[in-house]
């Protein structure tokens, strides 16, 4: 009933007789609901939506009648934050249907409304969030140095940090602020962001050396610069950031406990925290990374420079890419984290400005040149095989952005090695599991590269690389594995993408025979698959075994 109230005219509502009693009762009801979060979790969204609409109407408030929002909104903001921490203390089973951090829809609904309450009196809300986060972050930092730690205790700490990071990410998503100027708002954004960026340095400390992957978090690379600015930190930052920024022993000591920390990447609480960090990066990028954002957000970058030595968006991109590379290296079995990480990576690469900046980073150059399972173990995990298409779509986007045939060929070297290995495999052992998984991965990889070709030039590079040298292997794969949809489906999907004439990329020169050659090769493949699949008996799951492949084949013919 409360959510159906018309609140667009707050100036009229405050003049209604009994408004002060009504708003007080609504506030009390909201506070009690937040304290009883176990039984009122579904009501929180509607209550936060009510208060967010109230505070959003404040700029249009006319007259002298008090709205009383200054009195109640801060209490509701603090109560919501406290209730999230209390929910962590109780604990949830690892059943994804139980933990609110895994209920994406409910979490999104609540966090869409809550930032408006925080930004209503942003200075006090920001200070409250920092005061709640700092003791937890300090405890997490201290436990990172220990050789052993209670698993449940560490999970609770990570869950609390996950809530705070989600909340900060949601705040950065919007810019509306009724209680302070844009300049002071950016400073508070920087204060909150600095805590999350420092958390990243703690969560992944001691896991990789620069020689291992070439990408410890970007904050570590700017530590010397940050140390010189440490004397400028104000009292609000306190000892925590000084210690984390200057204490080189954190990295040295944590190297001793690599095996223990690697095991934590299999913990659900750790995965939730890293997904929250990725969400933070997504919202931060949209608000503060880019040419226009850089020039219009000078206060934020000035404050981040004082706190962490991150004075421009290139350094921040270095931090983001460092986290992306760390996730891709350390998470071998978590599909959710891998997918979320690759989604962020693709967002960065597909942006014109951010894509150009990525090519300047050593970490990105390393990824483009070394996209193998030795460096990124998730490529070897069959459960994450669908993620390979997004991974190579992103790599292809970056490769083609450089407009260099030489760099394209050198970047395709890892895939060339797979082709050479499969092409040298005798027919007698072509039906082994090793060949099967290699084919599946290769077809998903090639589909990603093909998706990134959006012009005649880039498509021509891929076509010349594949034809005529490697097309026989694709035909061999479809003939030997016709009865295995795990192989034929990604193979046919690659071919469907390869023949798609989007952006007129298949427009060859009038003197070129490539169009006829492509038609001939695709025809061979369709005939080989069609004649064999139709002769096989119908299994129980006929759609996956036959109909799906036939449908993709018809798609190829239509294109």
One domain for residues 41 and 130: no
Residue 351 lies in a domain: no
Alpha helices in 103-248 (DSSP H): 104-120, 122-143, 151-173, 182-203, 210-213, 218-221, 223-228, 238-246
- Boundary (domain end) residue, out of 298, 330, 362: 330
One domain for residues 143 and 275: yes
Task: Read off the pLDDT band of 174 (50, 70, 90).
Answer: confident
Q: In this predicted structure, what is the pLDDT of residue 7?
A: 53
pLDDT of residue 1 exceeding 60, the answer is no
CA angle at residue 213 from 210 to 219, to 5 degrees? 50
Selected residue with higher pLDDT from 334 and 321: 321
One domain for residues 237 and 199: yes
One domain for residues 461 and 539: yes
Q: In this predicted structure, what is the pLDDT of residue 510?
A: 81
Q: In this predicted structure, what is the pLDDT of residue 99?
A: 75
Selected residue with higher pLDDT from 415 and 91: 415
One domain for residues 459 and 539: yes
Q: In this predicted structure, what is the pLDDT of residue 47?
A: 87
pLDDT of residue 547 exceeding 60, the answer is yes
Selected residue with higher pLDDT from 294 and 362: 362
One domain for residues 434 and 494: yes
One domain for residues 44 and 127: no
- Compute the distance between CA of residue 346 and CA of residue 287 in angstroms, rounded to an integer: 17
Residues 6+ apart with CB under 8 A from 286: 173
Is 236 within 8 Å of 130 (Cβ atoms)? yes
pLDDT of residue 353 exceeding 90, the answer is no
Task: Read off the pLDDT band of 179 (50, 70, 90).
Answer: low
Task: Read off the pLDDT band of 60 (50, 70, 90).
Answer: confident
Residue 504 lies in a domain: yes
pLDDT of residue 252 exceeding 60, the answer is no
From 33-47, 352-366, 377-391, the region with the lowest mean pLDDT: 33-47
Selected residue with higher pLDDT from 180 and 549: 549
From the centroid of its chain, how far is CA 505?
Answer: 30
Model confidence pLDDT, tens digit, residues 473-515: 999 999 999 999 999 999 999 999 999 999 888 888 888 898 9
One domain for residues 288 and 426: no
Percent of the chain with pLDDT strictly greater than 90: 47
Residue 365 lies in a domain: no
Range of the domain at 69: 1-91
Residue 114 lies in a domain: no
Model confidence pLDDT, tens digit, residues 66-87: 778 888 999 999 999 998 888 8
Residue 14 structure tokens: 């405050």
pLDDT of residue 199 exceeding 60, the answer is yes
Task: Read off the pLDDT band of 52 (50, 70, 90).
Answer: confident
For the stretch 20-59, what's the b/e string if a residue is b when 16 or more beta carbons lie within 10 angstroms of its beta carbon?
eeebeebbeebbebbeebeebbebbbbbbbbbbbbbbbbe
One domain for residues 134 and 193: yes
pLDDT of residue 471 exceeding 50, the answer is yes
Residue 262 lies in a domain: yes
Q: In this predicted structure, what is the pLDDT of residue 256?
A: 41
For the ranges 299-313, 373-387, 481-495, the one whose mean pLDDT is highest: 481-495
Residue 171 lies in a domain: yes
Q: In this predicted structure, what is the pLDDT of residue 541?
A: 86
Quote the number of domains for the chain.
Answer: 3
pLDDT of residue 195 exceeding 60, the answer is yes
Residue 313 structure tokens: 């968006």
- Boundary (domain end) residue, out of 287, 303, 330: 330
Residue 34 structure tokens: 């937040």
One domain for residues 85 and 170: no
Q: In this predicted structure, what is the pLDDT of residue 4?
A: 57
- Boundary (domain end) residue, out of 292, 313, 330: 330
Cis peptide bond prior to 532, omega within 30° of 0: no
- Compute the distance between CA of residue 160 and CA of residue 246 in angstroms, rounded to an integer: 25
Q: In this predicted structure, what is the pLDDT of residue 474?
A: 95
Residue 359 lies in a domain: no
Query: Which among 472, 446, 440, 444 has a CA at the least distance from the CA of 459?
Result: 446
Q: What is the pTM of this model?
A: 0.84
Radius of gyration of the CA atoms of the chain, in A: 27
Q: In this predicted structure, what is the pLDDT of residue 149?
A: 74
One domain for residues 56 and 152: no
One domain for residues 77 and 144: no
Average pLDDT of the chain?
Answer: 82
Q: At what angle do helices 182-203 and 238-246 cross, to 10 degrees?
A: 50
Residue 413 lies in a domain: yes
Phi, psi torsion values for 333, nearest 5 degrees: -130, -10
Task: Read off the pLDDT band of 56 (50, 70, 90).
Answer: confident
């Amino acid at each position: 009933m409360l959510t159906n109230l018309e609140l667009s005219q707050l100036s009229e509502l405050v003049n209604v007789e009994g408004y002060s009693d009504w708003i007080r009762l609504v506030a009390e009801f909201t506070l009690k609901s937040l304290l009883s979060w176990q039984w009122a979790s579904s009501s929180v969204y509607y209550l936060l939506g009510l208060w967010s609409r109230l505070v959003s109407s404040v700029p249009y408030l006319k007259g002298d009648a008090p709205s009383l929002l200054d009195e109640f909104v801060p209490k509701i903001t603090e109560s919501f934050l406290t209730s999230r921490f209390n929910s962590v203390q109780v604990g949830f089973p690892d059943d994804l249907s139980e933990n609110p951090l895994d209920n994406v829809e409910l979490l999104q609904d609540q966090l869409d409304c809550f930032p408006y309450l925080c930004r209503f009196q942003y200075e006090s809300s920001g200070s409250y969030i920092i005061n709640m986060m700092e003791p937890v972050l300090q405890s997490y930092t201290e436990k990172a140095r220990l050789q052993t730690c209670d698993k449940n205790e560490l999970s609770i700490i990570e869950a609390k940090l996950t809530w705070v990071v989600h909340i900060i990410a949601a705040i950065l998503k919007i810019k509306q602020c009724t209680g302070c100027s844009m300049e002071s708002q950016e400073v508070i954004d920087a204060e909150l962001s600095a805590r999350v960026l420092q958390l990243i340095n703690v969560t992944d400390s001691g896991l990789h050396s620069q020689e291992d992957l070439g990408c410890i978090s970007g904050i570590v690379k700017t530590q010397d610069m940050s140390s010189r600015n440490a004397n400028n930190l104000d009292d609000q930052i306190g000892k925590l950031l000084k210690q984390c920024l200057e204490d080189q022993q954190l990295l040295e000591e944590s190297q001793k406990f690599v095996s223990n920390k690697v095991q934590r990447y299999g913990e659900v609480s750790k995965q939730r925290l890293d997904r929250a960090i990725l969400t933070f990066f997504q919202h931060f990028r949209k608000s503060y990374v880019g040419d226009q954002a850089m020039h219009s957000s000078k206060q934020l970058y000035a404050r981040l420079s004082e706190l962490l030595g991150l004075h421009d968006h290139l350094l921040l991109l270095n931090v983001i890419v460092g986290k992306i590379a760390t996730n891709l290296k350390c998470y071998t079995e978590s599909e959710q984290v891998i997918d979320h990480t690759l989604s962020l990576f693709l967002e960065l690469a597909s942006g014109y400005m951010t894509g150009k900046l990525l090519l300047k980073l050593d970490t990105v150059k390393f990824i483009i040149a070394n996209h193998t399972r030795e460096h990124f173990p998730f490529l070897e995990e069959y459960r994450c095989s669908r993620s390979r298409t997004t991974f190579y779509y992103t790599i292809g986007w970056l490769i083609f952005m450089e407009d260099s045939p030489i760099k394209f060929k050198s970047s395709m070297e890892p895939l060339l090695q797979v082709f050479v290995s499969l092409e040298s495999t005798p027919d007698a052992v072509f039906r082994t599991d090793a060949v099967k998984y290699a084919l599946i991965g290769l077809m998903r990889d090639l589909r990603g590269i093909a998706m990134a070709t959006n012009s005649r030039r880039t498509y021509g590079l891929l076509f010349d690389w594949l034809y005529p040298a490697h097309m026989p292997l694709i035909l061999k794969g479809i003939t030997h594995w016709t009865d295995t949809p795990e192989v034929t489906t990604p193979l046919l999907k690659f071919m469907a993408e390869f023949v798609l004439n989007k952006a007129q990329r298949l427009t060859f020169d009038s003197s070129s025979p490539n169009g006829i050659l492509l038609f001939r090769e695709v025809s061979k493949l369709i005939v080989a698959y069609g004649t064999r699949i139709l002769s096989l008996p119908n299994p129980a799951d006929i759609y996956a075994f036959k109909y799906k492949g036939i449908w993709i084949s018809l798609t190829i013919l239509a294109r």
